[in-house]
Chains A and B, each alone.
Chain A
Amino acid sequence: MADDVWILGIHMTDFGKHKDKDALDLGVEAATGALRDAGVGVEDIGVLAAGNLLGPDSFGQLLQKQIGQTGIPAYNVANACATGATALRVAIMAVKAGEADMGLAVGAEKLAGMGLLTGNERAAGNGTWVPSGRYGAVAPLDGLVGTETMPGVFAQIGMEYAYRHGEVAFEVFARISEKNHAHSTLNPKAAYQKRFSLEEIMNDVMIAYPNTRPMCSANCDGAAAAVVVGESKLRTLTLEQRRRAVKISASVLTSDPYRDGCQVLPDINTLTRQAAVTAYEQAGVDPDDLDLVELHDCFATAELVHYDNLQLCEPGGAVDFFNSGATWRDGRTPVNVSGGLQSKGHPVSATGIANIWEIATHLRGEAGDRQIPDAKVGLAHVIGLGSACGVHVLEKAAVA
């Protein structure tokens, strides 16, 4: 039986604008913060997994050149918005396989001021039409055959939920955003920390109906890193290290299985459902047991469908579940008490570790003003469009 794996140390930088820092500075800050939190040094780490989508290649090695070139294997990972979770999963797998006692996972991104993430710009028409690519297209298709913008794609995903399960008012999506922006007022690391009224959200600039600007994830800079350790190694560490260690009860990564239409509109539902089912089984945990959830609310329309995909509600019942108040921080299943991607921010490669940091911080009882009282079990979820889904279940537990 493979060793259970624990989080020994974890750190997240402030999310927001870091004008004078590059992705490497942020990655170093997160990595050294995680090592310090773990009470170990870089020489104790046996494997490194690192992700940074928009920066130079070989981010892992660049990081080593700043914090310690110890000769360990470095895995550079890229999995869209699930990059951080994938890095973490690589470190966990290496520890589980017995190839290392401890692993370090790092995700960093510089995104502040990036604006809309979209398809290609359309060049001004000159020359003659020449079919190219796998569709034999004579022009870029974004805007001519549907939309390739992220707000538009995820808007359609939310609207498709309404098609299948009954009308979802614009106001419901806006209220989800209202919740997350309210939550972030308690999070000193969030990019926004500003409450928006429902009216402000609904009347803000429309990006892709029904997503207005505050209902879209905030592009910002940030990084997060985690040190993971095998249980047998953990038993040899100090009482303080063991006391603050957080158990990873489930670590799952999926890609999308074929479904009709999934190559036309991305199906972010099926792979999330499959990841959740596997994670609950691995952890021996029911959705009802969760004290808090950080899920991938890249847009307000996405948060709604994931209530259902993560089985937080009855099938088809996401709207009623949300309207019951369940996902506010004082509700039955608090969701995105950090502020989520809409308000805490979404520095892509950092996100899949930052949400783990949020859960771990509550389980350690160190979340300050936004602490969910007596939190014992939490779930972190990310989606990288394409798609990849990472689900981790964390538990406050004593080392056996």
Chain B
Amino acid sequence: MGQIPLVDYLVLGDEPRLVANECTSCGARYFDRRNACARCGRQEFETVDVSRTGTLRSFTIVHFAAKGVDVPFVAGVVDCAGTIVSGNVVNVPPDPRHVSLGMDVRLTTVPVGTDTAGVMAVGFGFEPVAERE
């Protein structure tokens, strides 16, 4: 295969997508391994697909970060049809003139690096829907 997702809620393949743990009782969605639901306390979850498109709810352009983090980059919060997702906004200049609140974005994958066994880690980001056409 030669590829591994950066996080286990990213599913690679022809149509990469994010998946969430959805509480079967109240519908709250989470991306981490769960013990129980923070909204209702129940303990049953099912894996659901998250919409591949969304709206940029918030962003910042990070110029200073920990050692080893490439800057500047755009960090964003995306509303994917009701599921709130954190991710970088990619394929756009890291500049407030090119990134705007309410912008339509879609999921894309981003190479992270290759390990000593030749396996490539693949992450995700969101790119503007308009810019690439």
Contacts and interface: CB of A to CB of B under 8 A. Distances in A.
A and B: real partners? yes
A134 B101 contact: no
A119 B68 CA distance: 11
Contact of B77 (A138, A141, A144, A261): A261
Contact of B101 (A120, A162, A170, A205): A162
A71 interface: no
Contact of B119 (A129, A136, A157, A207): A129
Interface in A251-292: 258, 260-261, 263-265
Given A142-B69, A147-B62, A170-B96, A160 B57 contact: yes
B108 to A, nearest CB: 13
Interface in B7-49: 7-9, 28, 30-33, 38-39
B114 to A, nearest CB: 8
A213 to B, nearest CB: 9
A132 to B, nearest CB: 10
A155 B60 contact: yes
A275 to B, nearest CB: 19
Contacts of A149: 62, 64-66
A265 B28 CA distance: 15
Given A145-B123, A260-B82, A156 B77 contact: yes
Contacts of B61: 206, 208-209
A128 B63 contact: no
> Chain A: interface residue count, which band?
35 or more
A151 interface: yes
B113 to A, nearest CB: 5
Secondary structure type dominating chain A contacts: loop
Interface residues of B, number: 52
A129 B64 contact: no
A205 B64 CA distance: 10
Contact of B117 (A119, A128, A144): A128
B58 A138 contact: no
Interface string B80-103: 001011111000000010000110
Contact of A265 (B68, B77, B88): B77
A208 B67 contact: no
Contacts of A151: 60, 62, 64
Contact of B87 (A120, A145, A157, A205): A145
A260 B77 contact: no
Contacts of B71: 143
B22 to A, nearest CB: 12
A145 B67 contact: no
Contacts of A142: 65-66, 69
Given A143-B73, A145-B7, A258 B60 contact: no
A141 B124 CA distance: 11
28 contacts: A121-B67, A122-B66, A122-B68, A122-B69, A124-B68, A135-B7, A135-B8, A135-B9, A135-B33, A136-B33, A137-B6, A138-B4, A138-B6, A138-B121, A139-B112, A143-B62, A143-B66, A143-B69, A146-B86, A151-B62, A156-B75, A156-B77, A209-B63, A209-B96, A258-B39, A261-B77, A263-B31, A265-B77
5 interchain residue pairs of minimum CB distance? A261-B84, A136-B8, A122-B68, A143-B69, A155-B60
